[in-house]
């Protein structure tokens, strides 16, 4: 996980695609390193020792294993830390070849020395890649580079990273620490045979270690103010669908250290101190320039109430300030000046929050930074304050006493600050007053003049995130189903489709999107018309209205005709239908309430012989109710699907699997028709 306060994964429409840039890096690196000749050279003794070590237990899906890892941290002072790193891997399957590519990021506050790599093949001589053959990559010139800081990486390609071979590398890092805190993430997504971590502190300094997701191992003092930890046979974390963020479940030791006499300016031991540390980084960043004052006056000129002024300013920052984020080091945490963000009209999440906070202040409204993660779970009250738990920022707006509106659902009553409305100005398509599911029941660091406080953001009711779908359809004697469907979407259900439609300027583009929605439910179909409702009016429910026809929808079976009354919408999931036992809770992105209603007029000359049984599935975490009724020549199917809890514990995984199986059966159930008189 990076240390940058970047936008969450859902709101990167206009962002520089760092993944695409990384691919570009690999391409450049490949071209450059093909010309570099890996020389024959003996691998160091520590790597040859790893060759003799037993390979940790693994299954047939494991691509590689860590044979040896060593991290030696030497704290020189509050402004300088030296670290020496060694790692060796054994490649087991072709999918493990990526471990031969070593990428070490650095910035103006850090330096990388002595990066070298080796391969010990199963047969033949060792290969060596020296530091002089490493490739240093910086970002290419991109739009928005006025705000780009020092993003660089040093890269080497270790040759012959093939199954059966062992690859390894080592390097030294010198850095000016952002905070006096380190994390030893010793658990991986592959098995680890042996890992070492050592910490050397200046005389008189102290440290505190906190273990997460793993049984604590006591450090051994090996010298004057030096400690060492060793772990063996660390099991892999195998990713599962809909699990908590991997970073939140990996075995980790967090080490905080402080000089004699107490914490330094870049150290903290609790949430209050962490809030003070971050507030110091933001001092003066929200100061309003004449341009900001003028912009606020222009935007609020026609607003007659405090709420209208807040909405006008929030929507400006949401929609008119483009998202651009490329930074490391202090630039990953310290926002740019609000006046610069306004002038350039772009910035990342913390920049947008800073500008909006500055503008709200000009309108007489207080607000506070909330440092958070774009996924739930990394930060929690039982965990220590750790800066790498966070990668995003939102704003807590203090509502004036005379502002009260039912649309402001993301509001909580703070015991000291009063009513706080949480708002994410980076999320362009979630209306003011609401927050996306990724923020709900998520913990963030509220930064106030009195320090920091870990707060939980509110959950929104399930009925604020859902789909209301209604279809009026006709079945003909050839088995073709046709008709109109109207959908109304709110919450993240609306956000997702608005996002996909942003670049859909033609009617054919809208039809393509509807076709994608129908493809999971219909084998053969044709959309003849599709319209979007309230596409740009994010304060109103989004909608689709479309007409389709599906040939061979009804099936003949022994003189009977089979018709599936649940025409559209797939609520079931097969994520738990695996042989492996579930290890982690199942996490939903948000509470949901969906309702479907389909009316099918059957052809003349046919009557209904049988209908599916009613389904009533009620669990603590979710519910599903469906029924099929007949009225004359019309079949009416209705159902309601609701997710009531954001997380389902492992002990309830079997119940969730049963729940989804009931839905699957219902979605496949058939109404039986017969010719009248037979």
Q: Which domains does the chain have, with CATH numbers?
A: 36-177+181-258 (2.60.40.3140), 271-459 (3.10.620.30), 463-675 (2.60.120.1130)
- What 3-state class would DSSP assign to 22? helix
Residue 180 has pLDDT above 60, yes or no: yes
pLDDT band at residue 43 under the 50/70/90 scheme: very high
Residue 18 has pLDDT above 70, yes or no: no
Residue 402, phi then psi, degrees to nearest 5: -90, 10
Residue 304 has a CB neighbour count (10 Å cut-off) of 8
Length in residues, the chain: 678
Q: What is the pLDDT of residue 147?
A: 47
Contacting residues for 537 by C-beta, under 8 A, at least 6 apart:
none
Q: What is the pLDDT of residue 383?
A: 87
More confident site: 262 or 534: 534
Q: Identify the weakest region by mean pLDDT among 138-152, 462-476, 571-585.
A: 138-152
Q: What is the pLDDT of residue 326?
A: 57
pLDDT band at residue 224 under the 50/70/90 scheme: confident
397 forms beta bridges with 367, 421
pLDDT band at residue 141 under the 50/70/90 scheme: very low
Burial class (CB in 10 A: 0-12, 13-18, 19+), 666: buried
Residue 620, phi then psi, degrees to nearest 5: -65, -30
Pairing mode, strands 542-550 and 526-533? antiparallel
Residue 8 has pLDDT above 50, yes or no: no
Pairing mode, strands 192-200 and 64-77? parallel
Q: What is the DSSP letter of 553?
A: -
And the tokens for 249?
């479940």
Q: What is the pLDDT of residue 31?
A: 41
Residue 138 has pLDDT above 90, yes or no: no
Residue 5 has pLDDT above 80, yes or no: no
Q: What is the pLDDT of residue 148?
A: 52
Residue 527 has pLDDT above 60, yes or no: yes
More confident site: 604 or 108: 604
For range 638-657, the mean pLDDT:
97
On whether the CB atoms of residues 119 and 160 are closer than 8 A, the answer is: yes
Residue 16 has a CB neighbour count (10 Å cut-off) of 18
- List, as one string, the DSSP characters of 108-149: TTEEEEEEEEEEE-SSS--EEE-GGG-EEEEPPP-TTGGG--
pLDDT band at residue 146 under the 50/70/90 scheme: very low
617 forms beta bridges with 624
Residue 347, phi then psi, degrees to nearest 5: 170, 175
Q: What is the pLDDT of residue 474?
A: 98
For range 79-103, the mean pLDDT:
96
For range 82-108, the mean pLDDT:
94
Contacting residues for 618 by C-beta, under 8 A, at least 6 apart:
none
In this predicted model, what pLDDT tens digit does every residue of 342-381 receive, in sequence order? 999 999 999 999 999 999 999 999 999 999 999 987 788 8
More confident site: 445 or 140: 445
On whether the CB atoms of residues 468 and 487 are closer than 8 A, the answer is: yes
471 forms beta bridges with 485, 598
Q: What is the pLDDT of residue 558?
A: 84
Burial class (CB in 10 A: 0-12, 13-18, 19+), 9: exposed
Cα–Cα distance, 192 to 187 (Å, whole number): 7
Q: What is the pLDDT of residue 262?
A: 67
pLDDT band at residue 508 under the 50/70/90 scheme: confident
Residue 33 has a CB neighbour count (10 Å cut-off) of 20
Residue 71 has pLDDT above 80, yes or no: yes
Q: What is the pLDDT of residue 510?
A: 77
Reported pTM: 0.89
Cα–Cα distance, 639 to 614 (Å, whole number): 10
Q: What is the pLDDT of residue 144?
A: 45
- List Cα–Cα distances, 676 to 25, 630, 669, in angstroms: 69, 15, 22
- % of the chain residues with pLDDT over 70: 90
Helix, strand counts (H, E) of the chain: 10, 37
Q: What is the pLDDT of residue 40?
A: 61
């Amino acid at each position: 996980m990076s240390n940058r306060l970047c936008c969450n994964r859902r709101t990167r429409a206009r962002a520089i695609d760092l993944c695409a840039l990384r691919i570009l890096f690999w391409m450049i690196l490949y071209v450059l390193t093909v010309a570099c000749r890996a020389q024959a050279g003996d691998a160091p003794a520590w790597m040859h020792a790893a060759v003799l070590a037993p390979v940790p237990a693994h299954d047939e899906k494991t691509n590689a294993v860590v044979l040896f890892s060593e991290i030696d941290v030497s704290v020189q002072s509050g402004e300088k830390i030296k670290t020496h790193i060694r790692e060796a891997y054994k490649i087991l399957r072709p999918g493990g070849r990526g471990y031969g590519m070593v990428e070490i990021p650095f910035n103006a506050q850090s330096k990388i020395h002595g990066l070298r790599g080796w391969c010990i093949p199963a047969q033949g001589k060792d290969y060596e890649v020296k530091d002089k053959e490493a490739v240093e990559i910086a970002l290419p010139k991109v739009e928005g580079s006025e705000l780009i800081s020092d993003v660089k990486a040093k890269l080497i390609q270790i040759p012959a990273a093939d199954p059966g071979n062992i690859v390894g590398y080592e390097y030294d890092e010198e850095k000016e620490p952002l905070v006096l805190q380190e994390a030893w993430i010793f658990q991986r997504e592959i098995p680890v045979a042996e890992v070492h971590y050592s910490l050397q502190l200046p005389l008189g300094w102290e440290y505190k270690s906190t273990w997460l997701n793993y049984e604590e191992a006591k450090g051994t003092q090996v010298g004057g103010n030096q400690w060492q930890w060793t772990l063996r046979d660390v099991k892999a974390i195998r990713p599962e669908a809909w699990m908590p963020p991997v970073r939140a479940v990996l075995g980790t030791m967090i080490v905080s250290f402080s000089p004699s006499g107490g914490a330094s300016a870049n150290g903290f031991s609790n949430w209050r101190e962490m809030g003070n540390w971050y507030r110091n980084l933001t001092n003066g960043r929200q100061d309003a320039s004449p341009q900001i004052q003028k912009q606020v006056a222009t935007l609020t000129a026609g607003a007659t109430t405090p709420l209208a002024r807040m909405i006008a300013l929030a929507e400006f920052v949401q929609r008119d300030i483009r998202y651009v984020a490329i930074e490391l080091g202090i630039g990953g945490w310290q926002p740019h000046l609000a006046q610069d963000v306004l002038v350039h009209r772009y910035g990342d999440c913390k920049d947008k929050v800073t500008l909006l906070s500055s503008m709200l202040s000009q309108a007489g409204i207080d607000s506070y930074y909330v440092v958070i993660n774009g996924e739930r779970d990394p930060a929690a009250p039982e965990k220590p304050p750790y800066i790498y738990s966070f990668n995003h920022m939102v704003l807590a707006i203090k509502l004036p006493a005379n502002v009260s509106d039912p649309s402001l659902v993301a509001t909580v009553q703070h015991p000291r600050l009063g009513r706080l409305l949480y708002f994410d100005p980076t999320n362009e398509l979630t209306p003011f007053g609401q927050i996306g599911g990724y923020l709900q029941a998520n913990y963030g660091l509220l930064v106030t003049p009195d320090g920091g406080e870990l707060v939980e953001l509110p959950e929104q009711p399930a009925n604020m995130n859902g789909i209301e779908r209604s279809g009026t359809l006709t079945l003909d004697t050839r088995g073709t189903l046709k008709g109109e469907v109207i959908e109304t979407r709110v919450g993240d259900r609306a956000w997702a489709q608005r996002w996909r439609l942003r670049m859909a300027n033609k009617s054919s583009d809208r039809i393509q999107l509807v076709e994608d929605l129908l493809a999971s439910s219909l084998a053969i179909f044709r959309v003849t018309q599709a319209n979007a409702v309230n596409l740009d009016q994010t304060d109103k429910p989004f909608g689709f209205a479309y007409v389709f026809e599906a040939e061979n929808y009804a099936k003949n079976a022994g003189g009977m005709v089979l018709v599936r009354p649940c025409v559209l919408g797939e609520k079931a999931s097969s994520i738990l239908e695996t042989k492996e036992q579930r290890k982690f809770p199942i996490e939903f992105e948000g509470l949901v309430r969906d309702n479907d209603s389909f009316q099918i007029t059957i052809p003349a000359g046919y009557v209904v012989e049988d209908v599916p049984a009613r389904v009533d599935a009620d669990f603590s975490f979710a519910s599903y109710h469906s029924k099929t009724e007949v009225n004359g020549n019309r079949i009416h199917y209705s159902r309601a699907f609701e997710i009531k809890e954001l997380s389902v514990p492992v002990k309830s995984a079997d119940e969730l699997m049963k729940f989804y199986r009931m839905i699957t059966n219902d979605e496949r159930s058939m109404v039986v028709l017969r010719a009248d008189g037979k």
